Structure 1
Amino acid sequence: MELIAGVPLLFLTLTLIATSQASQVEKPLPIHPLRSAYGSGHDHHLHGISCASWRLGVEAYNLRDWKTVPSSCEAYVGHYMLGHLYRQDSKVVVDAAALYAQGLNLTKDGKDVWVFDIDETSLSNLPYFAKHGFGVEPYNATLSKQWVDTGKGPALPESLRLYKKLLSLGFKIVFLTGRQEVQRKITVTNLKEAGYHTWEKLILRSPEDTGTAIAYKSSKRKELEAHGYRILGNIGDQWSDILGSNVGQRTFKLPDPMYYIS
Structure 2
Amino acid sequence: MKFFLVFSLALLSIVFASDNLDSHLLMYGDDVGLLCNSWRVAGEANNLSPWKKVPEECRGYVKDYMTSRAYVLDLQMVANEAVGYARGIELGDDGNDVWVFDVDETLLSNLPYYAHHGYGYQVFNHGLFDKWVENGTAPVIESSLKLYEEVFRLGFKVFLLTGRSERHRNITVENLRNAGFMNWDKLILRDVEDYDKSATTYKSEKRSEMVKEGYRVLGNSGDQWSDLLGAAISIRSFKLPNPMYYIA
The answer to whether the 8 A contact 1:111-1:230 is kept is yes
The answer as to 2:158 corresponding to 1:173 is yes
TM-superposition CA deviations, 1:163-218 (whole Å, max 9, x none): 01111111111000000110001000000000001111000001101321100000
Q: Equivalent residue for 1:125?
A: 110
SS at match of 2:227: helix
Quote the residue 1:112 is aligned against: 97
Q: Tell me if 1:58 matches 2:43.
A: yes
Aligned match of 2:8: none
Offset of residue 69 of structure 1: 0.5
Rounded to whole Å, the distance in 2 between the matches of 1:201 and 1:47 is: 48
Question: Which structure is larger by alpha-carbon Rg, 1 or 2?
Answer: 2
Structure 1 gap ranges (5+): 1-44
Kept in 2, the 8 Å contact 1:46–1:73? The answer is no
Three-state SS of the structure 2 residue aligned to 1:46 is coil
Letter in 2 for 1:150: N
Alpha-carbon distance in structure 2 between the residues aligned to 1:214 and 1:131: 28
Q: Separation in 1 of the partners of 2:139 and 2:205?
A: 28
Amino acid at match of 2:66: M
For 2:46 and 2:114, how far apart are their aligned partners in 1? Answer: 22
2:225 aligned with 1:239 = yes
Q: What CA distance in whole angstroms lies between the structure 2 residues aligned with 1:112 and 1:128?
A: 34
Structure 2 counterparts to residues 177-196 of structure 1, below 5 A:
177-196=162-181
Say which structure is richer in helix.
Answer: 2
- Partner-residue secondary structure (3-state), 2:115: helix
TM-score (norm 2): 0.86
RMSD of aligned Cα (Å)? 1.1
Give aligned pairs, total.
Answer: 218
Amino acid at match of 2:113: Y
Give the distance between the partners of 2:223 and 2:147, measured in 1 at CA.
14
Aligned residue for 2:184? 199
Aligned residue number for residue 79 of structure 2: 94
Q: Once structures 1 and 2 are overlaid, which stretch shifts more, 63-72 or 235-244?
A: 63-72
Whole-angstrom distance in 1 between the partners of 2:131 and 2:56: 24
In the alignment, structure 1 residue 141 sits paired with structure 2 residue 126: yes
AA paired with 1:251? S
The reply to whether residue 248 of structure 1 matches residue 231 of structure 2 is no
Paired AA for residue 214 in structure 1:
T
Tell me by how many angstroms 1:47 deviates: 3.2
Q: What fraction of aligned residue pairs are identical, expressed as a percent?
A: 52
User: Aligned partners of 1:64, 1:108: CA distance in 2, in Å?
Assistant: 43
Structure 2 stretches of 5 or more lacking a match?
1-24
Runs of 4+ in structure 1 deviating by more than 2 angstroms, as ranges, are 45-49
Distance 2:97 2:157 in 1: 6
Match of 1:226 among 198, 201, 212: 212
Q: CA deviation at 1:108?
A: 3.4
Verify the 8 A CA contact 1:46 1:70 in the aligned structure 2. no
| Shift of residue 95, structure 1, vs aligned partner | 0.8
| Matching residue's letter, 2:27 | H
Question: Normalising by the residue count of structure 1, what TM-score does the alignment of the two structures yield?
Answer: 0.81
Partner residue of 2:148?
163
Task: Specify the code of the residue in structure 1 equivalent to 2:26.
Answer: L
- Hey, what's the Cα distance between the residues in 1 that align with 2:103 and 2:83? 18
Q: Provide the C-alpha distance between the structure 2 equivalents of 1:177 and 1:46, rounded to a whole number of angstroms.
A: 35
Shift of 1:255: 0.3
